[in-house]
Structure 1
Amino acid sequence: MSEKQLNLRFHGAAGTVTGSCMEFSLGQSRVLVDCGMFQGSRSLEHLNIDDFAFDPSQIDAVILTHAHIDHSGMLPKLVKGGFTGPIWCTLPTSDLLEHMLADSGRIQEYEAERRNRRRDRAGEEPFVPVYTSSDAMEAWQQCRPIQLEEAFEPAPGFHARLWNAGHILGSASVELNAGGVRVICSGDLGPENKAFHLDPEGPSGFDFVVCEATYGDRQRERVTIAERRKLLQSEVEAAITRGGNLVIPAFALERTQELLLDLHHLMCSGAIPDVSVFIDSPLANRVTEVFERHASELEDTGKVNIFDHPSFHFVTDVSQSISLNSVSGAVILAASGMCEGGRIRHHLIHNLHRRDSTVLFVGFQAQGTLGRVIMEGAERVRISGNDVRVRAQIRRIDSYSAHADQTELLDWIDERSPISGSLFLDHGEPSALEAMRRELQRRNPGLNVRLPQIGELYALAPKEQAARLETGRTDLAEALGRDWQNTYADFATSLKAELAKLRSDRQREEALTKMRHVLETYNAHMASRNGKSGE
């Protein structure tokens, strides 16, 4: 392997939409672009516990595209493992990370404590948090803010610049020049008409481009901010008419603030009444304060503080959150956006069963998440040990997406052209990646398009197609999609209702006995087969 050769290894967000992490190496220099957490099914999240596929102490620097946890969430573990270098990012990203990483650390601590309290785990080895809030603050202190388009040297032999990605506050694409090779990593790209931010920017003419493909298989109808507000107005009016609550699972970073922007406009213009809006997310409240600090950089606000409205109630302590159980006719915004944790699960337990309530999804729901299960029409779900019937109206608005759709991604790629080497598509589910690849090849048959897998290593040379040096991991196929725990939760939540349909307790006992027998027989069969294969 040549000392002058630039290599790229994918450690996450390949064949899935979370866990973004790319390692660029040139001789002894090593730079990570992002170091994100896997999110989704339990099997996928288990990957966060595994050791890194590299030695953290050998990484010279991290360049962070933005503050979302699927791009930044493993930084505390990286620092805990021995990384001492700078984390290069924009100033807004650094400001956001102070809260995002600390919150993630608290979640890790809480989840470990909760699992260790479970009676069915008595006597087993205790769970240890991936990292703590203290680890998170140590990582944040290694941030080194840099202005957009300002040149910097993250490691010997590397030259870099950040470009506006238009995704969230502080988001950036990363331009790298190393070993005579010019590369740009898109990070997450925002759509046209994105509130608060200008459209994505960047130079053209690269050897290699790494582009996200979260929405590579869909084209959204072009919706202006005014048209999007009309859609939200309709949902608020319909929810008020039904008499229950409008519960919105909203990401604490950006989505909550966008909703407040639109609700502020609708109320101030008289389009909707001054309905009570509860922002029940301590993290979202802290992030909103960061937005207020960077108010001069935000578009579409009319130069007023849109977060200061008498109908907006920022909920902080738990007792205030619990008091919302008795509320009707309110709008409740709570994290997490995919319903995988946080206070939104509490509000779903108290509202999903109500026919007069509405749950409105305004963001991407990854495979394996509770949000995806609800959105796809589940009649029952299991939340924090509770079986909950879904009677509420389930609604969706796609125009709040912070991700570019297929057409916008293609436009961004065109603007980076010519691409003399290869185009890598990452950060997408398999269907989105394949749809994007097909459309790119249809438009430009000569373009070399790669769909990398986690663990794959590529050699990057000027004006040459990427050469794969090592294949990816073969043990991740089951973890990257809907796993057995999703199927189990679906089965468990409907089991009691199915048993109730039987005529007598005797029939129910017989059914349970037969189900147990099927499982025991299958286990015996698999044990026998595994024993023979090991001979």
Structure 2
Amino acid sequence: MTLQFLGATQEVTGSCHLLEVDGQQLLLDCGLIQGGKADQLRNHEPFLFEPKVIAAVVLSHAHIDHSGRLPLLVKSGFSGPIFTHKATAELCAIMLKDAAMLQRRDAERLNKKRVKQEMEPIEPLFIEEDVDRAMAQFVLLDYGDMTRVIPHVDICLSDAGHILGSAIVELFLGEGVEQKKLVFSGDLGRAGMPLLEDPSIVDSADLVMMESTYGNRMHRSWNDTIEELKQIFSKAISESHGNILLPAFSVGRAQELLYLFHLYAKEWDLQRWKICLDSPMAIEATSVYLNNYPLMDDDFKRFTRMHPGQHPLLSNVEFILSTDESMLLNDVHKGLIIIAGSGMCNGGRIRCHLEHNLWRSECDVIICGYQAISTPGRLIVDGAEQLTINGKSIDVAACIHTVGGLSAHADQAELLHWYRHFKERPPLVLVHGESEAQEGLVDKLREDNSTCPQALAIATYGDKLDLNSLPELTWIKP
């Protein structure tokens, strides 16, 4: 039994891990690499395995950095089942189609330039038909189902509390006394956040693979975050000179913001503002959230029971579907709150709204999600004075707010809390985090001998682990 790390190693995108058990190969996630142009080009590199040989895929959740190369995997010859939570499958049907459209548009734009330069045209990474084929291979699961995915490998999903349908994956490898249990955290959410249940606790494993996105950071408390947002809106509304832009991930963050705007509409004095969700994908994803009401937390259910006819994701927002409607928003210079994708500002309608508002000192931009290295959102957070949008250099004069407390990822304390529920301190391998965050988490884990893992490592790309040697971490050299 071996485990090879082929993505989200010392970086936050491109989740992909290869398990081999009794000669059968299984993938955990198959995500797109996101970031700058150089990062995105890595998606076109051949897989380090033969897609036709992969027997099955287990998908932790729908975010594109975990699911986004599934259509490419199918295009490359993979024909097996893709096991995931049923809500994840609903979201993937939306998100992967959107990704295919973007791939096609990017290829068309690049090919216009390549034709002028007498270069061969390039193909998109995948197209809509590849998405359709991939979706036909999904096998839908509920939390708590024990499911055999390949011979000698059973899985059970539990709620990760990150986005709708996100899962912690427990994998039972082999049979009898030789069986090993691997727990893959996927992306862990946070306790006490709105909409979703808290992350599930797992207490036994022979090996834990844990994300580490915020391994060296602490988020603001929820109460402090709400107060921070109140102050931002109060200042903007009292001055009332510009618009407020919120780049937001279409799945998870957008719905959370809609809920908050409903809960705090009076307290934040939002009635005088027009709130627009300008993202067709986020609008479709909101419908999926509505259809999966049983997965919401008790507070959300209680609120909807107490306020019939005022659904908290629908009551005070205007959905902007057409491109023409979106463009008309750029003629409005104050009184708009615009939620639009993409969350890292590297695509989608937020780019157009930034082009028309970023240079205006009376406007506000609220960054409320993780920003990968080299993305426009990261440049804004890091204090860039200019941003290139649609080939134009735009001055950054708007007031920039970074609200980390809205993150859907566990912070350092929450990661430690989740791991410390495991009995006997199983070996731990960190994935899905930048090096600085991972090293900070390692230092913190080693501070307390009573909870320090028996063995601890940061995965690097291509590393292969011998699972038969657990609890020791024995790496197989190529």
TM-score (norm 2): 0.94
The question of whether the paired residues in 1 share the 8 Å contact of 2:425 and 2:453 is answered with no
| Selected match of 1:431 from 436, 456, 459 | 436
1:456 aligns with 2:473: no
Q: CA deviation at 1:308?
A: 2.1
Residue type of the alignment partner of 1:305? H
Q: 5 Å matches for 1:390-405?
A: 390-405=396-411
Q: Distance in 2 between matches of 1:258 and 1:11?
A: 31
Q: CA deviation at 1:139?
A: 0.8
Q: Distance in 2 between matches of 1:381 and 1:269?
A: 34
Q: Distance in 1 between matches of 2:253 and 2:139?
A: 26
Q: 5 Å matches for 1:91-490?
A: 91-118=86-113, 122-179=117-174, 180-224=179-223, 227-240=224-237, 241-267=239-265, 271-299=269-297, 300-301=299-300, 302-303=303-304, 305-309=311-315, 311-327=316-332, 328-420=334-426, 422-444=427-449, 447-461=454-468, 463-470=470-477
Residue type of the alignment partner of 1:51? P
The question of whether the paired residues in 2 share the 8 Å contact of 1:15 and 1:427 is answered with yes
Q: Distance in 2 between matches of 1:354 and 1:361?
A: 17
Deviations 1:153-182 (A, max 9, x none): 110110111111111100001111113111
The question of whether the paired residues in 1 share the 8 Å contact of 2:9 and 2:461 is answered with yes
Q: CA deviation at 1:275?
A: 1.3
Q: CA deviation at 1:418?
A: 2.0
Residue type of the alignment partner of 1:26? V
Q: Distance in 1 between matches of 2:348 and 2:376?
A: 12
Q: Distance in 1 between matches of 2:161 and 2:268?
A: 30
Q: Distance in 2 between matches of 1:307 and 1:222?
A: 23
Q: CA deviation at 1:276?
A: 0.5
Please state whether the residue corresponding to 2:271 is helix, strand or coil: coil
Please state whether the residue corresponding to 1:438 is helix, strand or coil: helix
Q: CA deviation at 1:351?
A: 0.4
Q: Identical aligned pairs, as a percentage?
A: 36
Residue type of the alignment partner of 2:457? R
Q: Distance in 2 between matches of 1:339 and 1:140?
A: 27
Deviations 1:470-502 (A, max 9, x none): 36xxxxxxxxxxxxxxxxxxxxxxxxxxxxxxx
The question of whether the paired residues in 2 share the 8 Å contact of 1:182 and 1:462 is answered with no
Which position in structure 1 is the counterpart of 2:307?
A: none
Q: Distance in 2 between matches of 1:289 and 1:454?
A: 37
Number of residue pairs matched?
462
Which position in structure 2 is the counterpart of 1:526?
A: none
The question of whether the paired residues in 2 share the 8 Å contact of 1:10 and 1:455 is answered with yes
When residues 229 and 246 of structure 1 are mapped into structure 2, their CA distance, relative to the original with a 3 A threshold, is same
Residue type of the alignment partner of 1:192? A
Q: Distance in 1 between matches of 2:247 and 2:204?
A: 40
The question of whether the paired residues in 2 share the 8 Å contact of 1:101 and 1:140 is answered with no
Q: CA deviation at 1:462?
A: 5.9
Residue type of the alignment partner of 1:447? Q
Deviations 1:378-401 (A, max 9, x none): 111111201101111111211110
Deviations 1:331-353 (A, max 9, x none): 01110000011111111100011
Deviations 1:292-318 (A, max 9, x none): 111232123312521222x41111111
Q: Distance in 1 between matches of 2:417 and 2:268?
A: 37
Q: Distance in 1 between matches of 2:393 and 2:132?
A: 37
Q: Distance in 2 between matches of 1:137 and 1:243?
A: 46
Q: Distance in 1 between matches of 2:17 and 2:121?
A: 31
Q: CA deviation at 1:124?
A: 1.0
When residues 362 and 403 of structure 1 are mapped into structure 2, their CA distance, relative to the original with a 3 A threshold, is same
Please state whether the residue corresponding to 1:267 is helix, strand or coil: coil
Q: CA deviation at 1:373?
A: 0.5
Residue type of the alignment partner of 2:323? V
Deviations 1:231-269 (A, max 9, x none): 323222222224100011000001000000011112256
Q: Distance in 1 between matches of 2:50 and 2:459?
A: 22
Please state whether the residue corresponding to 2:144 is helix, strand or coil: coil
Q: Which one has the largest radius of gyration?
A: 1
The question of whether the paired residues in 2 share the 8 Å contact of 1:458 and 1:470 is answered with no
Deviations 1:363-419 (A, max 9, x none): 111111100101111111111201101111111211110000000001111112323
Residue type of the alignment partner of 1:460? L
Q: Distance in 2 between matches of 1:92 and 1:401?
A: 21
Please state whether the residue corresponding to 1:470 is helix, strand or coil: coil
TM-score (norm 1): 0.84
